[in-house]
Amino acid sequence: MSESREIAGGIMPGYPEPLWIQAADLIRDEIDKGVLKRGARLAPERELCEQLGISRVTLRRALRQLVEEGLLSASHGRGWYITQRTSKKEWPNRLESFSETAARMGLRTHSAVVRAESNPASLDEAEQLSIAPGTALFRLERVRFLEGVPTALDLTYLPLSLVPDIAEADFAVNSLYATLSAAGIEPARADSTIEAGKADERTARLLRIAAGDPLLVMWQLALSAQREPLFVSSIQYVGERYRLRTSFTR
């Protein structure tokens, strides 16, 4: 069995994407280009950590992501192998951000911030987040782009007390999940609802579609490992620009 050893490119610690996503991107790109041959074994973890300049914990998170995508397989005691076939899972069964989903699919993404502001929670918002009405919320609304195309309008709100300096972050380039993680806040699960909708005039203008065009709307309440509400998000996907595919077992 041959062994694929060298990975071109490097990790950028100051880049907004987490290190494990960057590592997964680099390995995925080398597989797609044929530099890392299908059926071959990756270099030992120690060598990969040295090549990429990351810790073993970070590397293993990246490798597990590529296993989930069907690009790698793990052999106990023998290492990591590049699979013969690619299997891209479009709809994950784990909680991940928009940028993480895009990275997993090998797509370029960026955001345009529509608003980033603080104001009091309404009665409904307070009930959703189990806080007192009038509590200061940070609201972040962004147009999310895939490969330069506006694909979704993403509105998230969370108690400002969770990250008091969150307004200082530049969310045109920074990941919300990464910003929360840096503050020690890690969503463990999300209760989600997905339904069909239609674009109103404002949404249509921001997403460059016609008013009344179909949308796929996902509402999420993110919870901590202790089941405490962290934030609420509403993401409106352009119906013809986004597709969900998953599988069910009985």
Smallest CA-to-CA distance from 83 within 147, 18, 38 is with 38
Q: Using alpha carbons only, how large is the chain's radius of gyration in Å? A: 20
pLDDT tens for residues 1-15? 455 555 655 666 655
- What gap in Å lies between CA 112 and CA 142, rounded to an integer? 5
Residue 193's identity, in one-letter code, is T
* All CATH 1.10.10.10 domain ranges in the chain, comma separated: 3-82
Q: Are strands 149-159 and 136-146 parallel, antiparallel or unpaired?
A: antiparallel
Tokens of 83: 């699979």
b or e along 99-127 (b: 16 or more beta carbons within 10 Å of the residue's beta carbon)? bbbbbbeeeebbbeeeebeeeebeeebbe
- CA distances (Å), origin 239, targets 80, 143, 180, 208, 216: 38, 15, 29, 13, 6
Tokens of 159: 């108690």
pLDDT tens for residues 159-190? 999 999 999 999 988 889 889 988 999 888 88
- What gap in Å lies between CA 55 and CA 247, rounded to an integer? 33
pLDDT per residue rounded down to tens, the chain (250 residues): 455 555 655 666 655 567 888 888 888 888 877 788 878 889 999 999 988 889 999 999 989 888 887 888 887 777 899 887 544 444 455 677 777 777 666 777 889 999 999 999 999 999 999 999 999 999 999 999 988 889 999 999 999 999 999 999 999 888 898 899 889 998 888 888 999 999 999 999 999 999 999 999 999 999 988 889 999 999 999 987 666 655 555 5
- What is the reported pTM? 0.61
* All CATH 3.40.1410.10 domain ranges in the chain, comma separated: 104-238
Q: Which CATH architecture has domain 104-238?
A: 3-Layer(aba) Sandwich (3.40)
The DSSP code sequence of 138-162 is EEEEEEEEETTEEEEEEEEEEEGGG
Pick the CATH number of 3-82 from 1.10.3660.10, 1.10.10.10, 1.20.58.1880, 1.20.1240.10: 1.10.10.10
